[in-house]
Every structure is written in C-alpha cells, then in structure tokens.
Amino acid sequence: MQTINGLDRIGEENAFAVLARAEQLKADGKDVINLGIGQPDFRTPEHIVEAGIKALRDGHHSYTPAPGISALREAVASDIDRRYALEVDPNLVLIVPGGKVTMYLAIIMFGEPGAEIIYPDPGFPIYQSMINFTGATAVALPLHEENGFAISTDDILERLSERTRLIILNSPGNPTGGVTPREQFDALADALEARPDICILSDEIYDQFLFDGREHVTLLSYPQLRDRLILLNGWSKTYAMTGWRIGYAIWPPALFDKARKLAVNCYSCVNASAQWAGLAALEGSQVPVYEMVKEFDRRRQVLVNGLNSIENISCETPHGAFYAFANISQTGWKAKELASALLEQQGVATIGGLDFGPEGEGFIRLSYASSEANIIEALSRIQRFIT
C-alpha cells in the first residue's frame, strides 16, 4: 500500500508511550509513580465542569462556527487585556481542539522542501516531527543549561538564512522550565524588523506557571511583530483541562482565513460543551489557578532540592512550567536508558532528554505535577538506584 513519503518522517511524543507502559506496569501490579506525563494532577475546577454539563443540558449539541463561539473568542480577547493590558481583535482568535493543532496548522502553512524552520532544542518533540513531515529543514536552536535554558537572540540570528520562514519560540519552556527574559525578546523584535518575511509561532501555553518573581513576556506586546505572529495558548495546563481538548490561537490578519479553512477541512469545529466550559474558566474565579501554581512552586522546590542531593545528578532551578530537567551526564547513563531503567526497575516514570532533541542527551525530564508524597518517594527510589 503506497502512502506519501512524509509519513515516514513523522515522529511522535514519547511521553504517551511512557504513560502507556506505566499504566501497563500498574495493571500488572507494580507500584508506579508517574513523573513523566505533562499534565496537572488537579481536577478541573468544579465551576468549569458544571458549565460543561449545563451546556449539554441546555442543548448545545450542534456544530459551532469553525473559529469558535463568539462569546468564547471575545472572552479570550478580554483575558489578554486583563492580564497584559493588550488589545486583541476577537475576530483573529481561533478556538482549536488542543495546543498541538496550532503547531500543526502553522508548520503546514510554512513547511515545504526548501524552506527552513527554527525550533528550540531541547523542545516539545512535535515541533521537529511536524517540520520533518512537511519536508522542510528543521534548524535546531540549542538551549543551554548554563543559560537557564533561555532562548538566545544571538543564537537565532546565527541560524537565519534566506530560506527561513518560521521561528518557533516557547517560554516558559517544555521540557526545561526555562524562562526567557524580556531583553532577549526586545533584541529579537528589533532584529526581525529587517526580516518581515519571517513569521513567529510563540507557544505560550505555560504563561501562568512562573516562579521566583519571573515575568512572562508575551510576544503580543511587540507591535512590530503583530502582523506575522501566531500565538498558541489554551486551557489544558492553566485550568487542568488536558482531556477537554481545547486551546486557542491568535493569528495575524493575513493568515487567519487560511487557518480557518484548514480548520474546516480538518475538524469542522471544537466540541460545543468544552467551549462553554472554557468560557466559564476565563470568566469565573481564578483562585484555583493561583492555588495550583502555589502548590507547584512548593513541589518544585522539593524536587529540585532532592535531585541536587543525589550523587552525580544536578538540576538547574526551573523558573516556569512544571518540569525539572535534571543533568544525569555524570552518572554514566544515557538519558533514554536511564529513564527506561528507572521505570522498569524502580517504578518511576520519567522522560529521557533525547526525546526532546539531540541537545537533551544527558538529561531526564521530571514533572512535579504530582503529589509531594509521590515526589519524595520517587526521589528516594532514584537515589537508591543511582547510588
């Protein structure tokens, strides 16, 4: 059976493979602590759940407009204004079934043989996977531990060419928890004024998970980038709604209708009840968000301090998201092999850094979106295994 060549180049997100293996081990009776999957362990707040149920009871069972219901698109614009004092046209907001869809649409738009797309390494694996699928050249932007895994404008500029069409940025970052400071984005916005042909995909899905006084710098705050900026965000992480599959993107005017047409061809529209739940999330109390972030901060300190107490393991303090990217290069293990051994022999699920790109070798990712008791027990098992 003949299929297109691009399918042979496509990758996947290994966190789901690790999740499946962890669940199988649990089913076989093994005690497993999962620090691998990137999702909050909190329930979706009850007022959001009730809004979704009410939508179903009220008869919201039909198709919605492909870009999303008007009230939700307007609420997204209002939320951006509330948090950043920035004006967004609701007509440029596209509601999508999860954050990955925006990556898919953006990379499909710009990726083809001969084109180059810059992406962070280590970074979310779907970036590189989709770039490879389109036939474009994936140009890795290395993120360095000694730099707190922040994005460097100088490193981006060194990798620009006449074939560069899209730059993918992610801060706070997955898998590293790195937060890029404002001065780097200031320099990038100034430098890219000379390259109006290059678009930017800014993945800001972790924008409310910040610690140690760090600020989130949204690229929406740069007027000179607005006409070629695609912003990715959503509800999955902030409101513990990973299974609801709902996200949003803000598109530049020249690209919005192209994205809308791709949406119509791909998924028609987003689940109606999930959209009403998303509306309740934005318009309702934000206290559950603040409480979750406060708890993650406490767990972060427990995990990082514990990792740094294990011989031959070190971990830079992450200032965003809910991941620690631990350096295991002194243990003598390769990243994927160590992650596999920890799962199979100690019942601790982590993700080998190589799954996030070549620059991830020598690291493992651990999510602190798990209880403090689980984190402490996992640290004990890791220490026992390493020593």
Q: Residue range 110-133: average pLDDT?
A: 97
Return the higher-pLDDT residue of 5 and 344.
344
State the sign of the Cα–Cα–Cα–Cα dihedral 184, 185, 191, 197: positive
For domain 6-44+287-386, give the fold. Answer: Aspartate Aminotransferase, domain 1 (3.90.1150)
Instruction: Quote the DSSP letter at residue 133.
Output: H
pLDDT band per the 50, 70, 90 thresholds, residue 236: very high
Per-residue confidence at 13, pLDDT binned at 50, 70, 90? confident
Residue-averaged pLDDT of the chain: 96
Beta bridge partners of 366: 324
Alpha carbon distance 59, 307 (integer Å): 50
Which residues, at least 6 apart from 223, have a Cβ–Cβ distance to it below 8 Å?
none
Separation CA 156–CA 171 (nearest Å): 15
Calpha distance 35→31 (Å, rounded): 13
Percent pLDDT > 70 in the chain is 100
What pLDDT is attached to residue 6? 80
**Would you list the DSSP string of 149-178?**
T---HHHHHHH--TTEEEEEEESS-TTT--
- What are the extents of the domains in the chain? 6-44+287-386, 62-283
Stretch 59-88: mean pLDDT: 98
Give me the DSSP letters along 187-229. Answer: HHHHHGGG-TT-EEEEE-TTTT-B-TT-----GGG-GGGGGGE
Radius of gyration of the chain (CA): 21
Per-residue pLDDT tens over the stretch 147-203? 999 999 999 999 999 999 999 999 999 999 999 999 999 999 999 999 999 999 999
What DSSP string runs through 238-283?
A: TTT-GGG--EEEE--HHHHHHHHHHHHHHTSS--HHHHHHHHHHHH
Give the integer Cα–Cα distance in Å for 37 and 31: 16
What number is the average pLDDT over the span 81-94? 98
State the CATH class of domain 62-283.
Answer: alpha beta
- Judged on CB neighbours under 10 Å (0-12, 13-18, 19+), 187 is middle
**4 confidence band (pLDDT: 50, 70, 90):** confident
Band of residue 17 on the pLDDT scale cut at 50, 70, 90: confident
Mean of the pLDDT values across residues 268-292?
Answer: 98
